Copies of this chain bind each other. A is one copy, B any other.
Amino acid sequence: MPTRTQIPAKRVTSAREVLALNMIRLRAERGWSQEALAFEAELHRTFIAHVERQVRNISLDNVERIAKAFQVPIAELLTPELLEA
């Protein structure tokens, strides 16, 4: 009988969710409000809010602006974080 693992069942995550969670995490790390991120990325605050709520299908050019604002590689914004147990 196979050993029962402690790994939770694989969640299906969307690119929108991965991006949103990373944006929220990076803002928290920097102590930035949505307004502050919007200012740095030269985007509108409501646009940032919609992306973080996953209701907006953001374009690649705008993902790139957000990555530049955070000074992280664009791939980092789209890499799922390790889920805690």
Q: Which residues of A contact B (CB under 8 A)?
A: 14-16, 18-19, 57-61, 63-64, 67, 73-76, 78-79
Contact = CB atoms under 8 A, between A and B. Distances in A.
Copies per complex?
Answer: 2
A56 to B, nearest CB: 9
A79 to B, nearest CB: 4
B58 A60 contact: yes
Contacts of A60: 15-16, 19, 57-60, 63
3 closest A-B pairs (Cβ-Cβ)? A15-B64, A75-B75, A75-B79
Contacts of A58: 59-60
A29 to B, nearest CB: 19
